[in-house]
């Protein structure tokens, strides 16, 4: 009773979080509409464009970090290495924030690229873990929501059959653009093999 009353007064935390996500979904869908007229090669070029933007945005900080690391390896260095390590750690934190900002900025267009790629794959088939799969999926809005939530480092709970694997491709693509690697973990070996071939 008290919980229901509090939710009525202050609102449900999940509902508040979703209110902030739906405008991003609208942006993704607007970007998606723009991609229909592109050739496959032009769509592929979007990935290079994203990578260039990320590299240009982070170049200065990455250069500073590389200089400090080179200084540590230099035979001429006679300073306090702990001070340099602290500086590198501080710059790494700054770099993580910068990556996060630029990824958030390109998220709508990057997710739209994944959605449009899915649209272009409809009707195609290939083998995944020894089984023939026919592609018939284009992310729904709720799946875009799931992808945004995962990118934000939150948990997106979805029932069996709601497309968790497809949802994961959205933040995987976005975060892989940094070139720093992305890991997807599952405890099921068969699903790991199947889904990597299916969604790859």
Each residue's pLDDT tens digit, 13-22: 667 777 889 9
> Which tokens go with 177?
């653009």
DSSP state of 160: T
Residues 6+ apart with CB under 8 A from 59: none
DSSP state of 133: E
Determine contact, residues 169/146, Cβ cutoff 8 Å. no
**Residue 148 clears pLDDT 60, i.e. is over it:** yes
Arithmetic mean of pLDDT, 94-117: 97
Arithmetic mean of pLDDT, 139-156: 91
- Predicted local distance difference test score (pLDDT) of residue 13: 66
Rounded distance between C-alpha atoms, residue 190 and residue 96, angstroms:
33
Arithmetic mean of pLDDT, 32-47: 96
> Which tokens go with 154?
């939150």
Q: Angle 141-151/13-35 helices, nearest 10 degrees?
A: 110
Q: Angle 164-176/141-151 helices, nearest 10 degrees?
A: 50
Rounded distance between C-alpha atoms, residue 93 and residue 82, angstroms:
17
pLDDT digits (tens, 9 = 90+) for 108-123: 999 999 999 999 999 9
Rounded distance between C-alpha atoms, residue 170 and residue 184, angstroms:
12
- Predicted local distance difference test score (pLDDT) of residue 158: 79
**Residue 6 clears pLDDT 50, i.e. is over it:** no
Of residues 112, 68, 74, 117, the one with CA closest to residue 94 = 68
Enter the pTM of the model: 0.86
User: Tokens 């991003």 sit at which residue?
Assistant: 24
- Predicted local distance difference test score (pLDDT) of residue 177: 97
- Of all residues in the chain, what percent carry a pLDDT higher than 90? 60
């Amino acid at each position: 009773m008290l919980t229901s009353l509090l939710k009525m007064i202050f609102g449900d935390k999940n509902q508040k979080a979703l209110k902030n996500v739906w405008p991003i979904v609208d942006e993704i869908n607007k970007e998606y509409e723009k991609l229909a007229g592109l050739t496959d090669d032009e769509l592929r070029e979007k990935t290079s464009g994203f990578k260039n933007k990320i590299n240009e945005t982070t170049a200065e900080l990455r250069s500073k970090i590389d200089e400090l690391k080179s200084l540590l390896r230099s035979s001429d260095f006679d300073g306090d290495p702990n001070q340099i390590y602290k500086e590198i750690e501080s710059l790494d934190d700054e770099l993580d924030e910068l990556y996060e900002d630029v990824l958030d900025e390109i998220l709508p267009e990057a997710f739209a690229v994944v959605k449009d790629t899915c649209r272009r794959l409809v009707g195609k088939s290939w083998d995944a873990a020894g089984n023939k799969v026919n592609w018939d999926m284009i992310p729904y809005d709720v799946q875009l929501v799931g992808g945004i939530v995962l990118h934000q480092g939150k948990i997106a709970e979805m029932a069996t059959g709601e497309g968790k694997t497809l949802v994961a491709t959205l933040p995987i693509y976005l975060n892989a653009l940094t070139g720093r690697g992305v890991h997807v973990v599952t405890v099921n070996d068969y699903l790991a093999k199947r889904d990597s071939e299916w969604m790859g």
